A and B are shown apart, each in its own frame.
Chain A
Amino acid sequence: AEVAPVQRLRDFLARANTLQAEFSQVIIDEAGNPGQRTSGVFYLQRPGKFRWDYKKPYSQEIVSSGQKVWFYDVDLEQVTAKRLDEAIGSTPALLLSGEVALENNFKIENQGSDEGLFWIKLVPKSEDSGFKYVLIGLDDNTLAGMELGDNFGQVTRIYFSNVKTGVKLDRNLFEFRPPPGVDVFEER
């Protein structure tokens, strides 16, 4: 029988202990106008470790060790470290990292297939989760895309390409050492 997208997602999450992919991201405002495009490389190591290396048009790093998340903006020369569970913006990666028990935190719906991708829709059960829904797109059985709908009606689309799973990832990827001369703020 046809494997339901939700099962595909579970299989993928169970199999993808580590993942590396290129990503490009665009935010589409509530009137449907696409805003700035950004792109870079995404790394994931379950549970809880991830890294978004934004390279274009500017350079930013979001690094999670599983306990702490560092946000580093190169132009702003500023690093802020927050606890993983409080870090705004850690949602997309956390969904993939297995840190979040999907069933108890989300209503999960099959969205069927579209443009050759199988889509799963996650609707947060808690009101103040900062977004209305997340769509995860799987290309036969590997991660292809994600989409976050926020409470303003904006949509953040992330396209993944060159996806490798099960690759050996350097431990240092998930430990952040601030470069010299940068303002660093760590939450006690």
Chain B
Amino acid sequence: CAVFEKEPPRPAFDPKAKNYDLKAWLLEGRIGVQTANDAWQANLFWEHDADQDRLRVSGPFSQGMVSIILQKDLIYINEGGGVTELSRDPDAMLKERLGFIVPLSSLRYWIVGLPDPNHTYTPIYNESGSLLGFRQAGWTLQFQNFMTVEDRIMPQKMAIQGKDVKLKLVADSWRIKG
């Protein structure tokens, strides 16, 4: 029984885990961004459902907040003061606003611990053979920690390494809404 107890929670992208059926969730956590010429940390609020993703990235005391709404290939960005900008190229708009590119359509999957089903991926194992993460479309995803939420295993701490940006994410709370 000791072995069972010690068995770490199964990383979400393990075929036996089941996060692909996730329809709606809400994440409250923190994000660390590192690019060639800047670095910052912020609070992250991300609410996902079938129609859209609503993100809020803000500094301490909710200063400097950016609100992002994503629908299919449409992105709305609002930095407060009533001005909302719209673009059909979410990744480019994000690069302009937050200073880095990350494929948002894939990030929706990565953040719940899943490879984007529309691209191939290669799992990464550590020396003792347990799953660490995966590589996909030029990005390396590493999951340092998981948390159990209802009967699901959700990422609690992860790193996303791209060519010219590194994101670190920590989840403070997950709410599964459907």
Contact = CB atoms under 8 A, between A and B. Distances in A.
A154 B170 contact: no
Given A36-B172, A75-B157, A148 B30 contact: no
A183 interface: yes
Contact of A76 (B60, B64, B78, B170): B170
Contacts of B60: 52, 62, 71, 88-89
Nearest to A81: B39
A57 interface: yes
A contact residues, range: 20 to 34
A118 B104 CA distance: 47
B4 interface: no
A131 B61 CA distance: 10
B44 to A, nearest CB: 11
Contact of B59 (A35, A89, A127, A152): A89
Interface in A57-114: 57-58, 62, 71, 73, 75-78, 80, 88-89, 91-92
**A interface secondary structure, majority:** strand
A78 B39 contact: yes
Contacts, number: 84
Given A57-B172, A76-B41, A80-B39, A148 B28 contact: no
A35 B40 CA distance: 22
Interface string B24-41: 000010111010001111
A29 B64 CA distance: 15
A152 B65 contact: yes
Contact of A71 (B41, B80, B173): B41
B128 interface: no
B61 A76 contact: no
A148 B80 CA distance: 14
B62 A76 contact: no
Contacts of A158: 61
Interface of A: 25, 27, 35-36, 52, 57-58, 62, 71, 73, 75-78, 80, 88-89, 91-92, 127, 130-131, 148, 150-152, 154, 156, 158, 183, 185
